[in-house]
Structure 1
Amino acid sequence: MIKNYYQQLLNFLKSPDFLKSIIVTFGIVLPLIIGIQIDQISYLLSVSIGVFLTSGSDVPGSRKHKSIGILIATLIAVLTTIAITYVAPNPYLLVPTMSLLIFGISFISVYGFRASLISFSGLLAIVLSFAHPQVGQEILIQGLFIAIGGFWYLFLSAIFHPLLQKRQINKELSSCLQFTAQYIRIRGNLAIGEGKAEELKKELFELQTTINATHETLRELLLTERQSSGFSNYKRKQLLIFIELIDILELSMANPANYEKINSLFLEKPHYVRPFIDLVFQLSDRLDQMAIAMLENKKLSHKIDFNILIQLCEKTIQTYKNDIGLPEAREGALLLRNLLEYEENQIQKIDSIERVFYDLENRKNIGIRSKEGKQFITQQDYDLNILSENFSFKSPILKHSARLTIAMLLAYTIGTLFSLQNTYWILLTIVVIMRPGYTLTKERSKHRLYGTLIGASIASIIVLINQNTYLFAFLAIVSLTLALSFIQKNYKTASVFITTSIVFIYTLINPDAFEVIQYRVVDTIIGAAIAFGAGTLLWPTWESESIQNTILKVLRANRKYLAQIDRYYHENSGLTDYKLARKEAFLEMGNLNAAFQRLSQEPKSQQHHVGKINEIVSINQTLLAAMASLGTYLINHKENEVSKDFEFIIKTIDLNLKQAIQRLLKKDQTGSISEDELELAHQHLEERFESLVSIRNQELAFKKTKPIDPQLRKRLQSTRLISDQMKWLVTISGNIKKVIESLESDLVK
């Protein structure tokens, strides 16, 4: 137990979050120390504020994107500070200036995550302008030193970028390995019915959202830099691991229909399935071992011989056929054979990753084709038209900007009327807590309150038992470092350390620490109440208002994915387009999962048609998995000729999705499929399988123990799987259409 905690502590100390927090803390503290030494603390404090304001925009990405983000954050911080400080003495100028700046700065969040952090820096600049008011030329001098702080942090960021980038890639890759291992393990539990199926599926949906976010971060980290000059050997290996992990995820997702069938077919005979599931768990454990080795920078433990487990699975299939007898055992044997083939494909992928760990893999072409790589990066569009498109109360960002503006003006008015000592603390609480969505604002409010109360309690105890100013200075620095380490990952913990750092800093200035703690707690409660009240009463953005649009995006992405599966099957080309369509489908499905989770946490009065939306989410997940299963199999088993029956069924599936989209858009449904023709197409696929079965039965009629020809077995597997998957996809897509039609009918009522 102690060893585990020690290892977790070591991993935290080696994490990129902790390294970045040290860099930021160093950037903040060094100017303060110099200021004290040369007796110019007021100017050097502005440098530290500049570092604090601009460091928030420094998130994982290319050197270029990070530098541009820091420079823009610096510019906004300087201009905002100067503007607010100039008009602060005149309330008739201050109120409109605050309104325009708060609304405008928060509105730039429409440009994505990095822009939202730049926006946050600008809002913090507004708040901190009230903490250190200046007059006359001092205003411009203060702005100049804030700019120096921004450039100082840009310098630090540039110096430590390679080290930070390397740690970030290692951390994200190890997390991706762990998440993928967990995904495989849950799939295995679903196959053998261990645990409640609904809870496992919910966990699976949430996990897929997390994996998608990790994949996006890794694409940004691995594919944005050095596109023209190629990849270093280190990055080439990291990229190879990432590529294999994406394929492993698709393979894992490609088997839910089979798993459900396994669960039903072998319900009374689980011992036949157990060796296969044990192999699944071994694969999961191996990925976990790789994650730990990468995170701890250790050598990978001895190589596992999966051949022994594969031979046991082969033996189990033969035992099953002998025990049950043919032809009764044929369907189950083919199902197990397909499962084993899937596991062998996973072993190949894991073996490729192992070769990277052992420095045996040397694929020089990985990562060289920059144009292809850039296609997989989700590019942020910075067109000015996006601002005009979002300038409507249909936009969650515009409503958030208006809410935030009103909340901060209200807080400032309350602070002024009641002559509160630190009004800017209330403003700071509102800026930190308020988010475009109700659920996130609610969570941040709770975390902020809990963190403040816990932090205030800890600081009170320390102040009671010790009055050493050097200790307070040390604890302030440590608290700031830890707060910055947790700010993105665990806001509740970050709030604890933010509170302790503020208390210790103010204790150095004002010996009455309990007065500081009192004001801190009271101002946090006021700020949280205003933020939560504004988020609930002022044009709240409920997930039920936008989730239909999210469902639309999922259906469109699934149609594209299906089209690329069909195209590759026909042309045996366009693998990049197939992978791009797969990526989009996975991302949109992850967005839908996340949207539904937010919906389920909103007030019951706002959870409209939550049951049917849950059904739509679940069916779409199953559809995506079934398409992944079909696509993976077709890519690895190219047929010489594509049957017309296959084409007809693909058109049927696509039409079901198209009509579901039309229904959501309240358009007339176009196109129709003859049920008789569809039944005939299914029948033809089934007849192909039966004809192959007949050939095998004739062989067995002459010799009961004659081994099956490998080519015949592959054709049996292929025909059975394709026939089952096509039926399954028609059923799922039809169910999606029915549920959406039912949902739309309820909305009309």
Structure 2
Amino acid sequence: MDYIREYKKYSSSYYVSEGTRTTAGVMIPVLTASWLGHLQAGIALGLGAMCVALTDNTGPIHHRINGMVAAILLIFLASLLTGFSIAYPWLLAVFIGVMGFACSFIGVYGTRANSVGGAGLLVMILSIDERYDSFQVLRNALLVSGGGIFYLAISMALYRLRPYKLLQQALGDALISTASYLRTRADFYNSTVDYEQTYKTLLDQQVQVHNKQNLVREMMFKTRDIVRESTHTSRILMMIFLDSVDLFERIMTSQQDYRHLHEMLDKSALLPAFREFILKIATEAEETGLALQEGRRSRLNPALEGELKALENRFLEVRASSMDDSNIEGFISLRHILDSLKDLYRRIEALHRYTSFDKKIGTDTSSREDYSRFVSPSEFNLKLLANNLSINSNIFRHSVRVSLSLVAGYFLSKILPFGHGYWILLTIIVILKPAYSLTKQRNIERLTGTFTGAVVGALILWVIRDDRALVGLMIIGMVIAYSMLRVKYMVAVVAMTVYVLIAFHFLKPGDFTEVLRDRLIDTFAGSMIAFIATFAIPPRWEHEQIQELLQNAIEAQAKYFSFISKPFIAEPLNNLDYKLHRKEAFVQLANLSDAFQRMLNEPRRQQKKSQVIHQMVVACHMIISHTATLSSYRRLAEEYASDKFKPIIKASLGHLENAARLLEGSKDANAILNDEENFVIREELKQLLQQRLRELAAGSLETATRRKLSELKTLADQFEYINKISIELEKLSSRLVSSN
């Protein structure tokens, strides 16, 4: 692993920007107030800034503003009501329960709304150990909300100074993930490839690419200045994003029957050479992403063009010396993979050029479609809340679980003769998540991180006595904690525990072992409550809802395939509709893959029918890859469009529709054409193959027959692959529903 490169990817990412911004927003008022002799006021200001910062997730600017304003209002009310309730323990317990449910339930509106609710809970929890009179309660609430306003001002000032920085970082991060996806696909060219593990890794990486592309899409298409192409920079960023989405689809177009390819061509030693070049292309894609994050120009490796030419020459030499009737199909497939690599090279070359932001680069996006159709509308309506007020709703179960756990944690904190009650409650809200797999993972990471951080913090306080050095380490710990919060949670917990111990060292100088003991005990207590609550009020297990996700994915893929097939039967294809159906197919596949990964982390007894579901998820990934491959050959439709493709298209769509109906619970099935009718175009290919073999016997390599056989066979192969997978999906759907 290149550790320097990994460090650059992390240090230039928007995660670090968020962490640094949060740390500055918290520490500036604390340090300033401390210098003026008002430390307690500074702590209240810092608390408000921290809570609002947690809602300032990367996204469209107006979403960020709305989230922060909502958080400021909520933390003011939460601080006020908590302060007035503290004198009445039973009233405070009721308030904790109501806040726990309400602040968790608004998560139904999405991640940002969930962060706003989290800010309200955080202020409430961190205020329950403080007792103030009425004036002090109001003063504290104003200070907390004032800290939030201060952070809002900092965040907006930074945005005005560098309006495109976060977008560039998010776009670079998406390209880096795309490069990782391409690097994993290169493993298929390794003779010792583990197909099952590689597909599993691809599914996980595809979810990451989708999520990151969706974030960029939201930031770009919901930011008015960018959509209206107000500046050269915004137009360049728009071009980079649109080309990066096409790049990801193009990467998926290299889908082949890799087992068959290895059987035919392993002896030629060509596949390892292809793998090496794919890895170099992936490195170039990663370099463009890193350059975008760092705000510099990237340059294409000048040797890459020569290496591509050398790879093509090697392919031609091996083909001329060893191609015969036993491996001709393999060489045809490899030829098209080579064409795909040439196309990837040209796309990467263009992305490198874009990173210069040169004004000479043409950025005419006037022909681009209606961007608003590519993003989901953000609407807040009461109907969504009402629909989720049901025990069948996962967010409702989660909200009840959080509410009861917080009340239990509060009463436990009153019983225990030591510790701080807020740390138990803080542990509970951090660990409890709507999905079991996330709760389980957070529980383990929270415990491990707290114990590790406690050891590291103790060593620091034991070895270092200089206060300035300790303040520096505390600030570094805050930056690491807030920047790692959504990337590597355990690292964030370690850093958070360290800076909290140092902070308490300043607040209460003396023996830090008492604080250390309290943190460990409270963390363990909170973890146990969260663990028990997860089983007492279980979430909806993934096997209970994954069938619907499978149905959605198959239906979306059927529409995607239906649209991309139109040019091959001489029907017009609307480019906007094609792109919308492509996006929807990718979204549904990502949702399915994500749910399956969560299912694998659930208790084994809840992993029902996991083998069949795994086969279906992989089949869905393969069918969308072959459909993407088919889309890359649209230029061939002008020459080869024919009614001969209609039977196999109709049959494939029929199998997919049957699979979706079976998953929906329907017993009806369409009459599907038999195999002989599906593959009528194969007769023409057999004749072309015989003619090509006669040409090879006569020593003729580059002929019109070679070109036609190669192109027509490639099209037929993709239709046949899709047909076979659709049949398999129909069978697997039948097995899945019959085992219910």
Q: Report the TM range for the smaller structure's normalisation.
A: over 0.9
1:473-492 matches, cutoff 5 A: 473-492=471-490
Residue pair 2:44, 2:143 contacting (<8 A) in 1 also: yes
Q: Does 1:686 align with 2:685?
A: no
Against the structure 1 CA distance between its residues 478 and 351, is the aligned structure 2 distance closer, same or farther, given a 3 Å change threshold?
Answer: closer
1:244-255 matches, cutoff 5 A: 244-255=243-254
- Find the counterpart in structure 1 of residue 530 from structure 2: 531
**Could you tell me which amino acid in structure 2 is paired with residue 243 of structure 1?**
L
Residue pair 2:297, 2:352 contacting (<8 A) in 1 also: no
* 1:304 counterpart SS class: coil
Larger displacement relative to structure 2 (24-33 or 427-436): 24-33
Larger displacement relative to structure 2 (97-106 or 426-435): 97-106
* 2:228 counterpart SS class: coil
CA offsets, 1:422-463, max 9 Å, x none?
A: 111101111111111111111111111111112211222233
Residue pair 1:216, 1:378 contacting (<8 A) in 2 also: no
Query: Any stretches of 5+ residues in structure 2 without a counterpart?
Result: none
What percentage of aligned pairs have identical amino acids? 25
**TM-fit CA distance, 1:406:** 0.6
Distance in 1 (CA, whole Å) between partners of 2:389 and 2:691 is 67
1:136-147 matches, cutoff 5 A: 136-147=134-145
- Find the counterpart in structure 2 of residue 373 from structure 1: 371
Residue pair 1:433, 1:441 contacting (<8 A) in 2 also: yes
**TM-fit CA distance, 1:277:** 3.7
Q: Does 1:237 align with 2:236?
A: yes
Distance in 1 (CA, whole Å) between partners of 2:421 and 2:542 is 33
Residue pair 1:438, 1:536 contacting (<8 A) in 2 also: no
- Find the counterpart in structure 2 of residue 172 from structure 1: 170
- Find the counterpart in structure 2 of residue 198 from structure 1: 196
Against the structure 1 CA distance between its residues 259 and 342, is the aligned structure 2 distance closer, same or farther, given a 3 Å change threshold?
Answer: farther
- Find the counterpart in structure 1 of residue 495 from structure 2: 497
**TM-fit CA distance, 1:717:** 2.3
- Find the counterpart in structure 2 of residue 602 from structure 1: 602
**Could you tell me which amino acid in structure 1 is paired with residue 234 of structure 2?**
K
Distance in 1 (CA, whole Å) between partners of 2:359 and 2:250 is 22
Distance in 1 (CA, whole Å) between partners of 2:219 and 2:232 is 15
1:607-646 matches, cutoff 5 A: 607-633=607-633, 635-639=634-638, 642-646=641-645
1:661-676 matches, cutoff 5 A: 661-675=660-674
**Could you tell me which amino acid in structure 1 is paired with residue 730 of structure 2?**
K
Query: Any stretches of 5+ residues in structure 1 without a counterpart?
Result: none
CA offsets, 1:360-400, max 9 Å, x none?
A: 68564455578622322344442321111111111111100
Distance in 1 (CA, whole Å) between partners of 2:204 and 2:724 is 25
Residue pair 2:420, 2:518 contacting (<8 A) in 1 also: yes
Against the structure 1 CA distance between its residues 296 and 472, is the aligned structure 2 distance closer, same or farther, given a 3 Å change threshold?
Answer: closer
**Could you tell me which amino acid in structure 2 is paired with residue 679 of structure 1?**
E
Distance in 1 (CA, whole Å) between partners of 2:308 and 2:30 is 64
Residue pair 1:60, 1:165 contacting (<8 A) in 2 also: no
Distance in 1 (CA, whole Å) between partners of 2:78 and 2:334 is 65
Against the structure 1 CA distance between its residues 406 and 726, is the aligned structure 2 distance closer, same or farther, given a 3 Å change threshold?
Answer: same
Distance in 2 (CA, whole Å) between partners of 1:191 and 1:8 is 25
Q: Does 1:517 align with 2:516?
A: yes
* 2:269 counterpart SS class: helix
**Could you tell me which amino acid in structure 2 is paired with residue 573 of structure 1?**
L
CA offsets, 1:123-163, max 9 Å, x none?
A: 11221221333231322222222222221111111011256
Against the structure 1 CA distance between its residues 419 and 283, is the aligned structure 2 distance closer, same or farther, given a 3 Å change threshold?
Answer: same
Against the structure 1 CA distance between its residues 14 and 246, is the aligned structure 2 distance closer, same or farther, given a 3 Å change threshold?
Answer: closer
Distance in 2 (CA, whole Å) between partners of 1:184 and 1:270 is 23
**TM-fit CA distance, 1:349:** 1.3
Please give the root-mean-square deviation of Cα atoms over the aligned residues, in Å: 2.7
1:262-661 matches, cutoff 5 A: 262-267=261-266, 269-297=267-295, 299-301=297-299, 303-304=301-302, 306=304, 308-324=306-322, 330-357=328-355, 364-367=362-365, 372-511=370-509, 512-569=511-568, 570-633=570-633, 635-639=634-638, 642-661=641-660
Distance in 1 (CA, whole Å) between partners of 2:557 and 2:215 is 23
Residue pair 1:165, 1:221 contacting (<8 A) in 2 also: no
**TM-fit CA distance, 1:723:** 1.7
Distance in 2 (CA, whole Å) between partners of 1:33 and 1:281 is 48
Residue pair 2:564, 2:573 contacting (<8 A) in 1 also: no
Distance in 1 (CA, whole Å) between partners of 2:564 and 2:4 is 48
- Find the counterpart in structure 2 of residue 734 from structure 1: 727
Against the structure 1 CA distance between its residues 246 and 78, is the aligned structure 2 distance closer, same or farther, given a 3 Å change threshold?
Answer: same
CA offsets, 1:561-582, max 9 Å, x none?
A: 1122134544443112212211
Against the structure 1 CA distance between its residues 47 and 685, is the aligned structure 2 distance closer, same or farther, given a 3 Å change threshold?
Answer: same
Against the structure 1 CA distance between its residues 605 and 687, is the aligned structure 2 distance closer, same or farther, given a 3 Å change threshold?
Answer: same
Against the structure 1 CA distance between its residues 336 and 385, is the aligned structure 2 distance closer, same or farther, given a 3 Å change threshold?
Answer: same
Residue pair 2:410, 2:425 contacting (<8 A) in 1 also: yes
Distance in 2 (CA, whole Å) between partners of 1:248 and 1:63 is 27
Of 689, 708, 729, the match for 1:715: 708
Of 134, 150, 157, the match for 2:132: 134
Against the structure 1 CA distance between its residues 260 and 357, is the aligned structure 2 distance closer, same or farther, given a 3 Å change threshold?
Answer: farther
Against the structure 1 CA distance between its residues 449 and 554, is the aligned structure 2 distance closer, same or farther, given a 3 Å change threshold?
Answer: same
Against the structure 1 CA distance between its residues 705 and 652, is the aligned structure 2 distance closer, same or farther, given a 3 Å change threshold?
Answer: same
Aligned residues between the structures:
737
CA offsets, 1:289-317, max 9 Å, x none?
A: 43444455555356435554454454445
Distance in 1 (CA, whole Å) between partners of 2:150 and 2:295 is 31
Residue pair 1:55, 1:153 contacting (<8 A) in 2 also: yes
Distance in 2 (CA, whole Å) between partners of 1:5 and 1:277 is 23
Residue pair 2:233, 2:357 contacting (<8 A) in 1 also: no
Residue pair 1:480, 1:497 contacting (<8 A) in 2 also: yes
TM-score by structure 2 length?
0.93
